[in-house]
Amino acid sequence: MEEDQIDKAVLAYLKKKGYRAAELAFQDEQSKVRTVSGNQSTTSSSPIDPTIANQIYFYSRSDNSPGRYKEGFSKLRSWVHSSLDQYKNELLRILYPVFVHSYLELVAKGHSQEARAFFQSFREDHEAIHMRDLQKLEGVLAPQHLEECELARTFRENKIDIKMCQYSFELLLQYLHNTDSMLMLGIVNAHINLQVVPGQPSQLFEEEEAVTLTGKAQDAMELINQKEIRWGVLEDSLEEKLEKELAAEAEKAEAEGKEADAEENKKRAAEGGKPGGTGKKVKKEKTGGGGNKGTKAETTAVAVITRVKPDLPLPVMSEELERQALDDLRNRARLGSSALPSVSFYTFINTHNSLNCVSISADGSLVVGGFSDSSLKVWDMTKIGEVAAPSENGTAGNGTPIKSPGENITPVTAVDNNKTSYTLFKGHAGPVYAASFSPDGEFMLSASGDHTVRLWSLKLNANICCYKGHNYPVWDVQYCPVGHYFASASHDRTARVWSMERMHPLRIMAGHLSDVDCVQWHVNCNYIATGSSDKTVRLWDVQTGECMRIFTGHRGMVLSLAMSPDGRYMASGDEDGAIMMWDLGSGRCVMPLMGHTGCVWTLAFSGEGSLLASGAADSTVRLWDVNASAKFSRSEDKAGAVKRLRLLKTLPTKSTPVYSLRFSRRNLLLAAGAFSPPSSS
């Protein structure tokens, strides 16, 4: 160790700290020593403890040059890139967190120029996956921004979990120690939670798992995800009632036809395990009605599903409605990979870019549009259908009605043009971001930028109630599948559960690290799922308000959610066009569905859950085969290969982004969107 260097380091230290007197004294003494040593060349200076010298030396280097971060990081980067292929993928994962934290530390120490330079030079590496984060972090240049920027704060307050195998871990540590990269080591220690996984490094290169912060330690998260979820459908649900009814009918039929083929029936009964199933089979033989075939096959599939009791007191459905619903279910078109649904598309024209959301009632008769001018407009499609049915084809896609040549049509459309064909609801004081119809079609809820949710009666055409509670714009609202309850999601990072009769929320679900963008009820009403700008989807227990699952994997804000009718799967779509299928039980992603090129605004499962429909900003409706994906996921574990879920059909619209999708109870897919001609820009 050179003494001169130590002296210099000490001098620099004193200078920096502003110890003027000490500095002078030091210099003075130094010159004295020099002269002395010059005279007595042989005398050796007092021996210095090497470790102390080392520390002084290190301090001077680490503290003085912000360039050290860049140097250290680029060394680490090139080392990772030149490492063995087998371990490279695992090691690559640490680069992003190290990069972010190096940058944030530079900012924290006030070297904003150097921070920016550092950021710019390595930005490209991460743009592919973390573009949105980078955009957010890029502006952070001053220490006080670190406190304000929610992303920077979550980065600094939380550890990132990275899994790697034993050998990779050792390689990394060895490297960090050998090259004296104390800075990098420090960052890894402070901000990364390296989890050593026994066994070989995972061969499959899984899309470089997106690093998503959840605000919870890995253990805690695992604990959450291990909570038991009863994802079955409700007891006493319509499907079950239908099943019972069919069984009863079947028994009757069986009794009638007993003499004729009693023998055969017995044989069948022996074959079929469950008595219900036998009855149904017989029934199928007997009636063979067109509508019943579909339901029969469904009910056998449903039979496997567990039934759960509701945690909430649920409203009772009126008998008439129930009969109607049962009738619909009985006549439900059976869909599958070979039987695709019919899609009826409601196009909003002349919206002037002001349409924010669309919602369709359960029977497809009512369509509501929420506009940025705070208004809601409800169209009764049954009435429009009467008037517009003949002129339907006379309207060109470009939004201007063509005068139809037939003379008997023109006056009708003229009348239609003169008076407004919709009901206008005014009351909000901000853009309407979401609307939802109650299952019986009597009420409607709307969420707005004025921080409120409003309840409207469609019979009275009036506002009934205004629910205040959120402190920021409410992004989404949704009725519970049985009505009465509803959930809302807001910019204030909470989701809230309400009941229609109370002014204040029943539950507040807090935990998301950013805006809650969408909310979705589970079919059994015991849970709600929320999608957020923090790239996670969470499942909450409505009764306790606890977080039950955290699903990570999205790379952008989650914009849409859908629950499969059997309650087992959930689909979520994000702003990049990715759709993820989740298994609620295991909390794992079943299948990523790629195909959309724009924000996925809406998702919908078909009545029996065999199809998933998605609508996006790229002006397409896509239909996905859910059954195939579920099968793939099982085989995936063995095969070890990620197979994409089957895209059954892409239905392009005429420059109409798809805002809303809904399967009617008879499995007609209803879609809606605003026609936006491409020339608008």
Partner 1 sequence: MSVVGKDSIQTIAQSIGISNLSDDVAAALAPDVEYRMREIMQEAIKCMRHSKRSVLTTDDVNSALSLRNVEPLYGFASGDPLRYRRALGHADLYYIEDREMDFKEIIDVPFPKAPLDTSVVAHWLAVEGVQPAIPENAPIEPTTVPSGAKKADGQAAARKEEESSVDVKPPVKHVLSRELQLYFEKITEHIVSGSNPGLVRDCLVSLSTDSGLHPLVPYFTQFIAEEVARSLDNFPLLFSLMRVVQSLLLNPHIHIEPYLHQLMPSVITCLVAKRIGGKAFENHWELRDFTASIVAFICKRFGHAYENLQQRVTRTLVHAFLDPKRAMTQHYGAVTGLSVLGLRVVQLLILPNIPPYLQLLAPELSIETQPNEMKRYEAWKVYGALQIAAGKWMYNNLKSQLPEFFSAPIKPSMKAGSKALTTFQESQASVNGISSPLATSPSRKRVAAPDVGNQLPKKKFAVDAAGAGVSSSLASTITESVEGESADLPGRAAEQEADGSKGRLLIRKNNPLSDAWKEDADLGGLFSSVEIVLGSNPVHDFGKVALHPRQSSMRLSGATLSDFREWGGSWGSVPFVFVLLTEIALDLDENHEKFNGPAELWIVAAHKVWER
Task: Count other C-beta atoms under 10 Å from residue 36's C-beta.
Answer: 11
Of the candidate residues 118, 175, 475, 485, the single one contacting partner 1 (CB under 8 A): 475
In the complex, least distance from residue 450 CB atom to partner 1, rounded to whole angstroms: 10
298 touches 666 (CB < 8 A): no
Residue with Cβ nearer partner 1 (419 or 638):
419
Cα–Cα separations (whole angstroms), residue 405 to 386, 387, 393, 410, 634: 19, 16, 12, 8, 58
- Residues from 306 through 325 that contact partner 1 (CB under 8 A): none
Distance CA 75, CA 99 (A): 12
**CA quadruple 215, 219, 224, 226: dihedral sign:** positive
- Residue 348 binding partner 1, by CB under 8 A: yes
Residue with Cβ nearer partner 1 (248 or 424):
424
Over the window 555 to 584, marking each residue x when it contacts partner 1 by CB under 8 A and - when it does not, the resulting string is --x-x---------------x---------
- Residues from 23 through 42 that contact partner 1 (CB under 8 A): none
Residue with Cβ nearer partner 1 (352 or 504):
352
Residue with Cβ nearer partner 1 (181 or 361):
361
Compute CA 117 distance to the chain's CA centroid, rounded to the nearest angstrom.
33
CA angle 99, 517, 676 (to 5 degrees): 105
In the complex, least distance from residue 625 CB atom to partner 1, rounded to whole angstroms: 12
Distance CA 232, CA 227 (A): 15
- Residues from 231 through 250 that contact partner 1 (CB under 8 A): none
- Residues from 94 through 153 that contact partner 1 (CB under 8 A): 112-113, 116-117, 135-136, 138-142, 145, 148-149
DSSP string, 108-125: HTT-HHHHHHHHHHHHHH
CA angle 183, 184, 186 (to 5 degrees): 65
- Residue 671 binding partner 1, by CB under 8 A: yes
Q: Is 641 exposed, middle or buried (0-12, 13-18, 19+ CB in 10 A)?
A: exposed
Distance CA 192, CA 544 (A): 32
Phi, psi of 404 (to 5 degrees): -75, 140
Of the candidate residues 279, 431, 577, 595, the single one contacting partner 1 (CB under 8 A): 431
Residue with Cβ nearer partner 1 (540 or 659):
659
- Residues from 455 through 474 that contact partner 1 (CB under 8 A): 472-473
Q: Which stretch binds partner 1 (CB under 8 A): 54-62, 216-224, 308-316, 403-411?
A: 403-411
430 touches 491 (CB < 8 A): no
- Residues from 366 through 395 that contact partner 1 (CB under 8 A): 367, 369, 371-372, 377, 379, 381, 384-385, 388, 392-395
- Residues from 479 through 498 that contact partner 1 (CB under 8 A): 491
Whose tokens are 């019986």? That residue is 440
- Residues from 505 through 544 that contact partner 1 (CB under 8 A): 515, 517, 533
Of the candidate residues 599, 600, 612, 626, the single one contacting partner 1 (CB under 8 A): 599
Residue with Cβ nearer partner 1 (267 or 403):
403
Residue with Cβ nearer partner 1 (229 or 578):
578
Count of residues touching partner 1 (by CB under 8 A): 91
Distance CA 565, CA 582 (A): 14
Residue with Cβ nearer partner 1 (141 or 250):
141
In the complex, least distance from residue 408 CB atom to partner 1, rounded to whole angstroms: 8
Residue with Cβ nearer partner 1 (37 or 395):
395
Distance CA 537, CA 561 (A): 9
- Residue 624 binding partner 1, by CB under 8 A: no
- Residue 420 binding partner 1, by CB under 8 A: yes
Of the candidate residues 347, 410, 457, 543, the single one contacting partner 1 (CB under 8 A): 347
Residue with Cβ nearer partner 1 (179 or 395):
395
CA angle 21, 23, 28 (to 5 degrees): 95
Whose tokens are 């429009």? That residue is 384
- Residue 291 binding partner 1, by CB under 8 A: no
- Residues from 206 through 225 that contact partner 1 (CB under 8 A): none
Q: Is 466 exposed, middle or buried (0-12, 13-18, 19+ CB in 10 A)?
A: middle
CA angle 290, 295, 298 (to 5 degrees): 140
